């Protein structure tokens, strides 16, 4: 296995783990990032090592770079959040003045007056652009054969607010990372209006008409997050990126909301509802499937068009499939005692489509979230048909076959969208992840439900059930990890230094799951 600290971090983030020895940044999991000592250009930069891996005889702090390490590009000096006419509605500077959202933090101030202050200090999105200067990002760009990552639009669309502007933005705006406009929208049409008393009297549709994105509930939040954390036609993180070192994209809304810092006051908002955690989990799973199917449809449509013209095509796109179908230990005999009928069961040797999103939505189909509807049953059938079609056609470089996959993916998009909107509009959402339901679900397709992806999704469903209710103040971290649910979650982390769930034992996982009260 190839050593891959970033992939472990992605897994740690979705599982909500916090490693000991946190760095000064304080963000969940930040201490596990490879150390980069760069107090000024030319100082020690650990090219690919974890903390402490720098050989003292080759690269000591302050003595320059390792002899065989390529110099890292250095960003232009950042003089603070200075407004720039080219990106006034996109820059965090438009929001972060001390008289708006950038005031001092304090209990005697309304939280919106220091929202930007909190965000800059605690939210990982604030460092998204800076990530592009880290050694692993530079190495990825070199392997991909592209320019410096901080200049590449394919990187900047998620690591900054560049996606909202057709022309390159100035460095002072890009340096804000995935800033306010990344989630709330380009403020050009509403920057002044939203500071007026009349703003609160506008409907969501009226605000949306001027470019403001509604993030008041789980549905709007999930759809905004999914653009980068799942992907779409304009945010396509494909297999070349993963092979070069980009972490796999794993998205589950409820867990991320629990673990990531909040820079707004939850009082009077969706967070105070008694079903907030359950609703976030249920709606988030449906939206994640919608986004995954949307991305598949876009990829398949592009591939079919390329095949028709004889142009080079990226098909099959391997990030659409189960990573462990290929990246696996081939020295162990595998016992597949699967008696389930096709099309729910895939033939041995066939990579399954998106096990993370299929199992997440499958938990919805199994009735873990109530109320359920006919939409859920119909969606399950659509997903099953798409998986079966991909199992037959995944290697076919034929325009008609690829177009059928795109059409089926669009059907899943419509079904997942209806399910998400039905759940978002329901007066009350409950999640009941009891052992009997999970056992029956695992028996329907043992190959799928014995996967690491399925194990993590089951664990997150247990979290939504056992630790549901309204949001709590602050950021939740597992305490002493003495609770069976905390130990179950921790057991699913990738082993340190590996980019795969090496040693994952499904039998052991289900035994531990049975111990969760």
Other CB atoms closer than 10 Å to residue 408's CB: what's the count? 22
Identify which of 11-25, 77-91, 150-164, 358-372 has the greatest average pLDDT: 150-164
What is residue 339's predicted lDDT score, i.e. its pLDDT? 43
Question: What's the chain's length in residues?
Answer: 517
Which pair of structure tokens corresponds to residue 170? 């100035």
Distance CA 237, CA 249 (A): 8
With 60 as the cut, is the pLDDT of residue 31 above it? no
Top pLDDT among 191 and 394 is at 191
Which pair of structure tokens corresponds to residue 498? 């590996």
Which residue is associated with the tokens 């449509």?
301
Q: What backbone phi and psi angles, to 5 degrees, belong to 353?
A: -75, 125
What is residue 84's predicted lDDT score, i.e. its pLDDT? 53
In DSSP notation, 365-383 reads HTT-EES--HHHHHHHHHH
Distance of CA 359 to the CA centre of its chain: 16
Q: How confident is the model over 384-403, as a mean pLDDT?
A: 89
472 φψ region: left (φ > 0), alpha (ψ -120 to 50), beta (else): beta
Q: Which of 109-118, 186-195, 232-241, 370-379 has the lowest mean pLDDT?
A: 370-379
Which residues have C-beta within 8 Å of that of residue 220, sequence separation ≥ 6?
213, 214
What is residue 482's predicted lDDT score, i.e. its pLDDT? 78
Q: Which of 339, 366, 326 is nearest to 446 (CA)?
A: 339
Which residue is associated with the tokens 């199994």?
366
Q: How sure is the predictor about 373, in pLDDT bands with cuts at 50, 70 and 90?
A: low
Integer-rounded Cα Rg, in Å, for the chain is 23
In DSSP notation, 69-112 reads SPPPP-PPP--SS---GGGTTT-GGGT-STTTT-S---TTS-GG
Q: How confident is the model over 47-69, as a mean pLDDT?
A: 37
Which pair of structure tokens corresponds to residue 49? 């090592």
With 50 as the cut, is the pLDDT of residue 367 above it? yes
Which residue is associated with the tokens 């969208």?
417
Which residue is associated with the tokens 């034992």?
505
Which residues have C-beta within 8 Å of that of residue 250, sequence separation ≥ 6?
10, 11, 14, 356, 456
What is residue 397's predicted lDDT score, i.e. its pLDDT? 86
Report percent pLDDT > 90 for the chain: 50
Top pLDDT among 234 and 67 is at 234
Which pair of structure tokens corresponds to residue 104? 């001092």
Q: Which of 363, 374, 481, 378 is nearest to 432 (CA)?
A: 363
Q: Which of 26-30, 54-58, 393-397, 510-514 has the lowest mean pLDDT?
A: 26-30
Q: How confident is the model over 10-20, as a mean pLDDT?
A: 46
Top pLDDT among 480 and 135 is at 135
Q: How sure is the predictor about 377, in pLDDT bands with cuts at 50, 70 and 90?
A: confident
Which pair of structure tokens corresponds to residue 8? 């472990």
pLDDT digits (tens, 9 = 90+) for 289-318: 999 999 999 999 999 999 999 999 989 999
232 forms beta bridges with 235
Which pair of structure tokens corresponds to residue 470? 């309204």
pLDDT digits (tens, 9 = 90+) for 412-440: 999 999 999 999 999 999 999 999 999 99
Q: How confident is the model over 73-88, as a mean pLDDT?
A: 51
Q: What is the largest CA-CA distance in the chain?
A: 67
Top pLDDT among 444 and 239 is at 239
Beta strands in 186-301 (DSSP E): none
Distance CA 378, CA 366 (A): 12
pLDDT digits (tens, 9 = 90+) for 202-235: 999 999 999 999 999 999 999 999 999 999 999 9
Distance CA 493, CA 515 (A): 19
pLDDT digits (tens, 9 = 90+) for 226-279: 999 999 999 999 999 999 999 999 999 999 988 888 888 888 788 999 999 999
Q: How confident is the model over 484-499, as a mean pLDDT?
A: 90
Beta strands in 391-517 (DSSP E): 430-431
User: Pairing mode, if any, of strands 430-431 and 369-370?
Assistant: antiparallel
Beta strands in 313-412 (DSSP E): 369-370
Top pLDDT among 388 and 345 is at 388
Q: What is the mean pLDDT of the chain?
A: 80
What is residue 161's predicted lDDT score, i.e. its pLDDT? 94
Q: How confident is the model over 38-58, as a mean pLDDT?
A: 34
Which pair of structure tokens corresponds to residue 84? 């720039």
């Amino acid at each position: 296995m190839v050593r891959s600290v970033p992939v472990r971090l992605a897994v740690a983030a979705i599982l909500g783990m916090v490693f000991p020895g946190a760095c000064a940044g304080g963000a969940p999991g930040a201490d596990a990032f490879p150390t980069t000592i760069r107090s000024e250009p030319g100082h020690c930069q650990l090219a690919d090592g974890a903390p402490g891996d720098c050989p003292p005889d080759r690269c000591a702090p302050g003595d320059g770079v390792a002899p065989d390490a390529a110099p890292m590009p250095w960003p232009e000096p950042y003089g603070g959040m200075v407004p720039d006419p080219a990106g006034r509605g996109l820059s965090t500077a438009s929001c972060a003045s001390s008289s708006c959202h950038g005031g001092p933090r304090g209990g005697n101030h309304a939280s919106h007056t220091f929202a930007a202050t909190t965000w800059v200090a605690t939210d990982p999105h604030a460092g998204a652009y800076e990530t592009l200067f880290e050694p692993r990002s530079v190495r990825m760009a070199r392997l991909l054969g592209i320019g410096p990552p901080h200049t590449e639009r394919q990187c900047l669309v998620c690591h900054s607010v560049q996606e909202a502007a057709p022309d390159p933005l100035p460095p002072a705006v890009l340096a804000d990372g995935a800033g306010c406009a990344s989630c709330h929208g380009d403020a050009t049409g509403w920057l002044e209006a939203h500071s007026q008393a009349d703003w609160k009297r506008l409907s969501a549709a009226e605000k949306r008409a001027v470019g403001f994105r509604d993030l008041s509930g789980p549905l709007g939040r999930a759809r905004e997050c999914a653009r980068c954390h799942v992907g779409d036609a304009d945010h396509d993180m494909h297999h070349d990126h993963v092979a070069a070192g980009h972490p796999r994209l794993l998205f589950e809304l409820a867990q991320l909301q629990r673990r990531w810092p909040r820079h707004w006051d939850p009082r009077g908002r969706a967070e105070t509802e008694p079903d907030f955690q359950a609703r976030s989990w249920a709606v988030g799973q449906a939206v994640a499937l919608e986004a995954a199917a949307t991305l598949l449809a876009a990829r398949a449509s592009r591939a079919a068009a390329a095949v028709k013209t004889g142009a080079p095509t990226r098909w099959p796109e391997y990030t659409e499939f189960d990573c462990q179908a290929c990246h696996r230990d081939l020295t162990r005999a595998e016992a597949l005692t699967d008696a389930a009928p096709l099309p729910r069961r895939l033939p041995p040797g066939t990579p399954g489509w998106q096990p993370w999103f299929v199992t997440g939505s499958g938990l919805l189909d199994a009735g873990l979230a109530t109320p359920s509807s006919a939409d859920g049953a119909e969606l399950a059938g659509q997903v099953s048909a798409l998986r079966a079609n991909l199992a037959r056609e995944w290697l076919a470089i034929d325009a008609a076959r690829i177009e059928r996959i795109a059409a089926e993916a669009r059907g899943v998009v419509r079904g997942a969208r209806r399910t998400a909107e039905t759940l978002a509009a329901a007066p009350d959402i409950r999640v009941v992840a009891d052992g009997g339901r999970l056992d029956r679900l695992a028996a329907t397709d043992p190959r799928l439900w014995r996967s690491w992806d399925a194990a993590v999704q089951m664990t997150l469903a247990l979290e939504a059930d056992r630790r549901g209710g309204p949001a709590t103040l602050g950021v939740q971290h597992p305490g002493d990890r003495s609770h069976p649910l905390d130990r179950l979650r921790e057991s699913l982390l990738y082993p340190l230094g590996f980019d795969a769930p090496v040693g994952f034992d499904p039998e052991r996982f289900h035994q531990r799951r049975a111990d969760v009260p």
